[in-house]
Structure 1
Amino acid sequence: MFTKVRVRDLALLLRHPRVQNCFVTTRCHASTQTSKIYEIRHYRMHVHTVKTFLEMAKQSMPVRTSYSKMVGFWTTELGDGINDIVHIWEYGSLDERRRVRQALATDRRWQDDFIAHIMPMCLMQRNNVLQCMPGTDIVYPKPDSGSYELQEVKYNQNLAKAADCVKGISRPGSQLLACWSNVLSRQNHGLLLWHHKELDNILETQSPVKEIEIKKRKLLTPQSFSVMR
Structure 2
Amino acid sequence: MSSVAKVVRSARGLLLRGSFKQAATQLRADISTGPQQQHGTFYEFRTYDIKPDHLSAFLKLTDDNIQLRTAHSELVGYWTVEHGGLNQVFHIWKYDSYAQRTAVRAALAKDHDWMSKYISKMMPMLNSQDSEVNYLVPWCKLGKPPKQGVYELVSFQMKPGGPAVWGPAFQAAINTHDSPGYAQLIGVFHSEFGDLNKVNVVWWYESPDKRAEMRHRAHGDARVVAAVRESVTYLVSQNNKLLIPTAFSPLN
TM-score (norm 1): 0.79
Computing the radius of gyration from Cα coordinates, the structure with the larger value is 1
Distance 1:166 1:133, change over 3 A: farther
Distance 1:59 1:168, change over 3 A: same
Letter of the 2:200 counterpart: L
Determine if contact 2:47/2:129 at 8 Å carries over to the other structure.
yes
Q: Please say which of residues 151-160 and 56-65 is displaced more in the overlay.
A: 151-160
Structure 2: unaligned runs, 5 residues or longer: 1-35, 219-223
Aligned to 1:222: 245
Structure 2 SS opposite 1:50: helix
Structure 1 SS opposite 2:62: helix
Distance 1:62 1:170, change over 3 A: same
Structure 1: unaligned runs, 5 residues or longer: 1-30
Inter-partner Cα distance in structure 2 for 1:130 and 1:103? 22
Aligned counterpart in structure 2 of residue 181 of structure 1, from 190, 196, 203: 190
Distance 1:100 1:176, change over 3 A: same
* Residues 1:132 and 2:136 aligned together: yes
C-alpha root-mean-square deviation of aligned residues, in Å? 2.0
Aligned to 1:169: 176
Aligned to 1:54: 59
Aligned to 1:195: 204
Give runs of aligned pairs for residues 109-148 of structure 1, distance below 5 A: 109-144=113-148, 146-148=149-151
Determine if contact 2:38/2:138 at 8 Å carries over to the other structure.
no
Determine if contact 1:143/1:228 at 8 Å carries over to the other structure.
no
1:28-87 Cα distance to aligned partner (Å, 9 max, x none): xxx9621100001011011111111111101111111111111100000112x1120101
**Structure 1 runs of 4+ off > 4 angstroms?**
none
Aligned counterpart in structure 2 of residue 86 of structure 1, from 72, 82, 90: 90
Kindly indicate which of the two structures has a greater share of residues assigned to helix: 2
Residue 200 of structure 1 deviates from its aligned partner by 2.0
Give runs of aligned pairs for residues 25-104 of structure 1, distance below 5 A: 33-79=38-84, 81-104=85-108
Determine if contact 2:37/2:137 at 8 Å carries over to the other structure.
no
Inter-partner Cα distance in structure 1 for 2:169 and 2:133? 19
Determine if contact 2:41/2:95 at 8 Å carries over to the other structure.
yes
1:70-107 Cα distance to aligned partner (Å, 9 max, x none): 1100000112x112010100010111111111111110
Inter-partner Cα distance in structure 1 for 2:169 and 2:87? 31
Distance 1:133 1:166, change over 3 A: farther
TM-score (norm 2): 0.72
Letter of the 1:103 counterpart: A
Residue 137 of structure 1 deviates from its aligned partner by 1.2
Counting aligned pairs with the same residue, the percent is 28
Distance 1:32 1:124, change over 3 A: closer
Distance 1:84 1:176, change over 3 A: same
